[in-house]
Structure 1
Amino acid sequence: HNKQSNISFKNKKKVRKPQEEWYRVENTHEAIISEEVFQKVQELIASRRRKRRNGMTQIFAGLIKCADCGWSLAYGENRQNKNPYGYYHCSKNGQGLRQCSMHYIRYDVLYAYVLARLQYWSMLAQKDEDKLLKRLLNASDRERNSAKKKQAAELKKAEKRKAEVDGLFAKMYEDWSAGRITEYNFNMLSEKYQNEQKELEIKIRQLHETMEAAVQTAADAEKWIALMKQYVNPVELTAELLNTLIEKITVHEAVKSEDGSREQEVEIYYRFIGKID
């Protein structure tokens, strides 16, 4: 049920001072986001602000990724129809590469979906900040636990293989010392085992770092809510809005059902908090 709150309007006359009389007082309030995060977002906006031939800015530039290969989705236009429209497709599929499927999605469909999701989160942020914070933390716990299980399995597998390679290397050294294998075979196998050892060591270290960095804190969720509260009920998408709130958007390949309908999964990964439903 939609409830409409009573809004009172008061007539307050404001007198605007000339700009030469303005003065700025900095650092009087605690920043909602750090200067470092603010500058990073501004740099992203500047680097992603590409313009199409008609002069319009590609607000999604650099944000949309293929869910399967990870490449960016390229923008294109269909001018054959009576009403031309823009669309995105996997850049690894285009340019004659054909190394991935299309992952085709219309610009207007993507725009409407992302705007609806941001309007939804904006409404929750204004309505009940504490409730939204609890929901974000619960969602991040589920996401983190799921990722942690996969990473733990990968780590266990890598550590097991590392122990096997270490054992094989030691055994080979014994065989070489006892003259059971030639110098040539020793050198060839030695290089092979040492390369695999290095690769496994790097993988194990990266998994440890990923698992440690994946810890989601309440501060991260609070930062995102604070950012969201700056955009009260957004009615349009801009490069600034998207890059401030969103890390990336992944587009899956569409699935057509027997009745001809088309279903497509689009995942939005938000800044600080990752993917939430």
Structure 2
Amino acid sequence: MKQPQYNTALYLRLSRDDESFGDSVSIETQRTVLTQFVKEHPEFHVVSEFVDDGWSGTNFERPQFKRMMEEIEAGNINCVITKDLSRFGREHIMMGYYLEFVFPKLKVRYIAVNDNEDTDKGLSDFVPFKNLINEFMAKDTSRKIKGAFRAKFLNGERVNYLAPFGYRKHPEIKNKLMIDEETAWIVRKIFDLSFHGMGVNRISKLLTDEKIPCPGWFQYTRNGGCAHFFEGQSEEKRYVWSKTHVTNILKDETYIGNTIHHRQGTVSYKNKRVVRNPQEKWLRIEGTHEAIIEADVFEAVQKQIASRRRECKDHSSQIFAGLLKCADCGWSMRYGIQSSASNPYAYYKCGKYSDFQTRGCTSHYIRYDALYAYVLARIQHWSARAIQNEDALLSQLLSAGDRERNAAKKKQTAELKKATKRKAEVDGLFAKLYEDWAAGRITEYNFNMLTAKYQTEQSELTEKIDTLTAELDTVKQTESDARNWIDLIRQYADPTELTAPLLNALIEKIVIHQSVKGEDGEQEQEIEIFYRFIGKID
């Protein structure tokens, strides 16, 4: 009897976790085993070889695996051969899904050579157990690798692919850093400028003006990194320093000789999505390499960064820090001093306008003394009202809250109605999709793709509906909130000056509008004060 001919795919996979097993699972070893097998069995006609090198078996979103499934869906392949079950995958639920559901449905034969498993002959009862063991081995290997890395970390080794700006990898000592004098002077300059009182914005502008290459440019010229930023761009691109560049350098303990590990991690050994770990999970190892910056300088800079938001040399400018917002773009207002005037004065203007000029926003310029006088007058007004007639003020606050609540409620109700309607549509599409798949009107591949899409949208809509529902529940201006604010402002009865503690206790934000010329020719400017607990009141 003539044997059937199978259009066969050879599938090979190797992850970094498999390297501990040596040559027994290498790509070349897998290829040798599979090539010898098909030579001995002429009914297998190899049409394609798919190789996923560096991909975990717990992840079934591997590029070559997905390409192989596309070929299977297209009817070009009806047999898949791997060296063993673990090369196909190490997640027992997905293994069962493919071996017991997908492949039988698509009439695809699967063979695991070394495990002596063949769907055409019937899989043995031990396959589920083998898959569980393979998954356990993936988990155990992940645990061992983490343990090995932790041992390296505790030993002071740096295993990062790239050296931080200011350092190079040591040419003789593995996982060791050495100072790179070509770039370390830039790091020293940045810390020196900050130590002597210069802010992040001014430092980044100074470095750009002095045409000092940024960290990305050195990475691009040395190893080809950041090519999408610099390739084919003008020369000026290499000198552009951002506030993020400077801030990251100033806050990095690498420059005092320390290494911090576990800033990020993965959800699990199965889910490789990267998440940021809380600081209590960080692992800090001191003295792993030579420092560029002295520890006392670094600490002084950290204190300056923390305090710069609240103090300036005249002790009067930063009481509004973090409170002032541009009415049009939402950016923070930036403090400055007009020193060229005969009588120097302080002012604020839109931060976006400061950075981008006319391309970003308008200036929203306001003098510090005018802002100070207005805010002090408003707080004195409400303080006097609270002392004179608390019940009348409470009634006014609740009335204002009703207006704001109704406006917010109207908007949120419309959004909630729209999201609820769309979720019902997606639920209906999901049901129809399943019917189409069950009736064979769409392929397995398209079913899986669309399922993932609709599940993502369902999840996003559910989250949005929950958020809007919660907002509708909490948008109320309650009597308790109003009383809390009245009690708070009574503590600052008849204030004669503004301080940062007073402002931050009473005020949520201050919104500055662009000034306009009134009918009488005078400049007019709206300032909105949003108070804690109660929001904006007139």
- After superposition, the Cα gap between the structure-2 partners of 1:135 and 1:126, relative to the gap in structure 1 and judged at 3 Å, is same
- Secondary structure of 1:65 counterpart: strand
Alignment correspondent of 1:213: 474
For the 8 Å contact 2:324–2:512, the answer to whether it is kept is yes
- After superposition, the Cα gap between the structure-2 partners of 1:144 and 1:191, relative to the gap in structure 1 and judged at 3 Å, is same
Alignment correspondent of 2:449: 188
Q: Does 1:265 align with 2:529?
A: no
> What amino acid is the match of 2:415?
E
Q: Does 1:244 align with 2:505?
A: yes
- After superposition, the Cα gap between the structure-2 partners of 1:204 and 1:180, relative to the gap in structure 1 and judged at 3 Å, is same
- After superposition, the Cα gap between the structure-2 partners of 1:194 and 1:100, relative to the gap in structure 1 and judged at 3 Å, is farther
- With CA pairs under 8 Å and 6+ residues apart, which has the higher RCO, 1 or 2? 1
Query: How many Å separate the matches in 2 of 1:130 and 1:67?
Result: 32
Alignment correspondent of 1:172: 433
Alignment correspondent of 2:124: none
Deviation at 1:60, TM superposition (A): 0.4
Query: How many Å separate the matches in 2 of 1:262 and 1:224?
Result: 33
Alignment correspondent of 2:312: 52
Alignment correspondent of 1:95: 355
Q: Does 1:70 align with 2:337?
A: no
Query: How many Å separate the matches in 1 of 2:431 and 2:314?
Result: 66
Mind listing any 5+ residue stretches in structure 1 that lack a counterpart? 1-45
Q: Report which of the two structures shows the higher radius of gyration computed on alpha carbons.
A: 2
TM-score of the pair, normalised by structure 1: 0.74
> What amino acid is the match of 1:137?
L
Percent identity between matched residues is: 65
For the 8 Å contact 1:176–1:186, the answer to whether it is kept is yes
Alignment correspondent of 1:16: none
TM-score of the pair, normalised by structure 2: 0.40
- Secondary structure of 2:321 counterpart: coil
- After superposition, the Cα gap between the structure-2 partners of 1:122 and 1:80, relative to the gap in structure 1 and judged at 3 Å, is same
> What amino acid is the match of 1:203?
K
Larger mean CA deviation between 71-80 and 108-117 belongs to: 71-80
Query: How many Å separate the matches in 2 of 1:64 and 1:154?
Result: 29
Alignment correspondent of 1:150: 411
CA RMSD of aligned residues (A): 2.5
Query: How many Å separate the matches in 1 of 2:311 and 2:422?
Result: 49
Correspondent of 1:117 among 344, 368, 378? 378
Deviation at 1:260, TM superposition (A): 5.1
- Secondary structure of 1:124 counterpart: helix
Query: How many Å separate the matches in 2 of 1:123 and 1:269?
Result: 18
Alignment correspondent of 1:4: none
Correspondent of 1:82 among 319, 322, 342? 342
For the 8 Å contact 1:60–1:242, the answer to whether it is kept is yes
Aligned pair count reads 232
Larger mean CA deviation between 56-65 and 184-193 belongs to: 184-193
- Secondary structure of 2:508 counterpart: strand
- Secondary structure of 1:95 counterpart: helix
> What amino acid is the match of 2:323?
L
Instruction: Spell out, residue by residue over 1:140-198, the C-alpha distance to the aligned partner (whole angstroms, 9 max, x if none).
Output: 11111111111111111111111112222222232233232334433333332222222
Correspondent of 2:458 among 179, 197, 210? 197
Query: How many Å separate the matches in 2 of 1:47 and 1:134?
Result: 39
- After superposition, the Cα gap between the structure-2 partners of 1:258 and 1:226, relative to the gap in structure 1 and judged at 3 Å, is closer
Matches within 5 A, 1:220-231: 220-231=481-492
Query: How many Å separate the matches in 1 of 2:447 and 2:515?
Result: 52
For the 8 Å contact 1:92–1:100, the answer to whether it is kept is yes
> What amino acid is the match of 1:95?
D
For the 8 Å contact 2:412–2:468, the answer to whether it is kept is yes
For the 8 Å contact 1:90–1:103, the answer to whether it is kept is yes
> What amino acid is the match of 2:334?
A
Query: How many Å separate the matches in 1 of 2:451 and 2:365?
Result: 48
Query: How many Å separate the matches in 1 of 2:513 and 2:431?
Result: 46
- After superposition, the Cα gap between the structure-2 partners of 1:109 and 1:56, relative to the gap in structure 1 and judged at 3 Å, is closer
- After superposition, the Cα gap between the structure-2 partners of 1:162 and 1:47, relative to the gap in structure 1 and judged at 3 Å, is farther
Q: Does 1:162 align with 2:420?
A: no
Deviation at 1:256, TM superposition (A): 4.4
Mind listing any 5+ residue stretches in structure 2 that lack a counterpart? 1-305
Query: How many Å separate the matches in 2 of 1:130 and 1:124?
Result: 10
